Amino acid sequence: MTPLLSVRDLSVTFDVRRPGSWPWTPPRKLHAVSEVSFDIAPGECLGIVGESGSGKSTIARAVVGTLPSSGGHIMFEGSDLANMDPRQRRVHRRDVQMIFQDPLAALNPRMTVGEIIAEPLITHEPGTPRKEVKKRVGELMERVGLLPNLINRYPHEFSGGQCQRIGIARALILKPKLIICDEPVSALDVSVQAQVINLLMELRRDMGLSMIFIAHDLSVVKHISDRVLVLYLGRVMETAEARKLTTLPEHPYSQALIASVPIPDPVLEKARPRPILEGELPSPLSPPSGCVFRTRCPKARSSCAQEVPALQDIGGRHFVACPYHEAEQVLAVNG
């Protein structure tokens, strides 16, 4: 199947100047994302997980087009975003929409709910009759679980969960092909999180949407995603089907992330072994040589500092970037 979105060797860097440095002093390079590759098929949901500072939101912004990439290619339906003219980019913005982390901050407080949801439609289809706009807004409000008679209210009159439903309706008004969800439930209560996740799953099924779902919580990502990509300091550590990665993780970082997800049973939670990551996330201004995870990896060896490990296919579309895993496989084969 031809992928809807194909990202190849995506890199994003920023120039950072030291406070008080001279204007002619060369800026330092902050490596936010380094050589990340993935594909998303029509109707597929890719989960992206990792600690804060791992580059998840940077990838989202690069795909949407609000952040320029420093290297690599982002192909949407066979077209390279870097080579698009303004007219083509306008069409691309229709097909790729975003749902943000803070639902209230993402909404204009001076606009009514109806105006917020209708704004993308009026911008991209200015000839649409006002009666048709109001009809489509009302239908979409019902679809996301909001009463149409709330159309003239303002964002501050709604709860966090309701504001996120408004954001979802706004993202769907143009009938996009790809929705990027940048931690859409992290600011919501647990009970509301479940409702929003179930709503996104229903919309994805009914509308045939593709999704990128970004989150810290692996239990949430596992519930909604078909495949999961694990990021650390801007690099891919592991990627596999959601069920496989959450039950049989191969990379030490993936294992630590999954071990951090609590188990509802207090007895099992207390008895299970939990690998602990020591130290802090290194600065992206000066990432470690070789494997970027080696400074916190309990299985690191001296060879891990020599070169960046490539993603190795270990079968079943399961890819791991870990020299330790490669060594273990050789030992197993040699008996």
pLDDT category, 256, cuts 50, 70, 90?
confident
Higher local confidence (pLDDT), 83 or 74: 74
Residue 330 domain flag? no
Query: How far is Cα of residue 271 from the mean position of the Cα atoms in its chain?
Result: 32
Q: Which residues contact 188 (CB under 8 A, 6 or more apart)?
A: 103, 160, 161, 164, 196
6 has pLDDT over 50: yes
Q: Across residues 321-325, what is the average pLDDT? A: 76
pLDDT in tens, 147-169: 999 999 999 999 999 999 999 99
Query: How far is Cα of residue 148 from the mean position of the Cα atoms in its chain?
Result: 31
pLDDT of 247: 87
Q: Which residues contact 8 (CB under 8 A, 6 or more apart)?
A: 37, 72, 73, 75
pLDDT of 275: 64
Domain count, the chain: 1
pLDDT category, 334, cuts 50, 70, 90?
very low
Q: What CATH number is associated with residue 126? A: 3.40.50.300
Residue 287 domain flag? no
Q: What angle do CA 128, 131, 133 make, to 5 degrees?
A: 50
pLDDT in tens, 296-308: 888 888 888 888 9
Residue 183 domain flag? yes
How far, in Å, are 30, 66, 88, 297 from residue 92 at the CA level? 28, 12, 6, 40
328 has pLDDT over 50: no
pLDDT category, 79, cuts 50, 70, 90?
confident
In angstroms, rounded to a whole number, what is the distance separating the alpha carbons of residues 37 and 25? 33
Long-range contacts of 245-253 (CB under 8 A, 24+ apart): 245/318, 246/218, 246/222, 250/314, 250/318, 250/320, 250/322, 250/325, 251/293, 251/320, 251/321, 251/322, 251/325, 252/293, 252/297, 252/298, 252/299, 252/322, 252/324, 253/277, 253/293, 253/297
Q: Is residue 301 within 8 Å of residue 252, measured between CB atoms?
A: no
In angstroms, rounded to a whole number, what is the distance separating the alpha carbons of residues 223 and 211? 13
Residue 277 domain flag? no
Higher local confidence (pLDDT), 65 or 46: 46
Higher local confidence (pLDDT), 156 or 259: 156
Residue among 291, 258, 250 at smallest CA distance from 275? 258
Residue 266 domain flag? no
Q: Which range marks the domain in which residue 128 is found?
A: 5-252
In angstroms, rounded to a whole number, what is the distance separating the alpha carbons of residues 259 and 246? 10
In angstroms, rounded to a whole number, what is the distance separating the alpha carbons of residues 190 and 173? 27
Q: Is residue 234 within 8 Å of residue 286, measured between CB atoms?
A: no
Tokens matching residue 303: 């060879």
Residue 316 domain flag? no
pLDDT of 121: 93
pLDDT of 226: 94
pLDDT category, 170, cuts 50, 70, 90?
very high
Q: Is residue 240 within 8 Å of residue 317, measured between CB atoms?
A: yes
Q: Across residues 99-118, what is the average pLDDT? A: 92
Quote the percentage of the chain above a pLDDT of 90. Answer: 51
**Of 107-111, 190-194, 197-201, 223-227, the least confident:** 190-194
Residue among 243, 238, 209, 214 at smallest CA distance from 226? 243
Q: Report the relative pairing of strands 28-40 and 210-215 from DSSP bridges.
A: unpaired
329 has pLDDT over 70: no
Residue 211 domain flag? yes
Residue 177 domain flag? yes
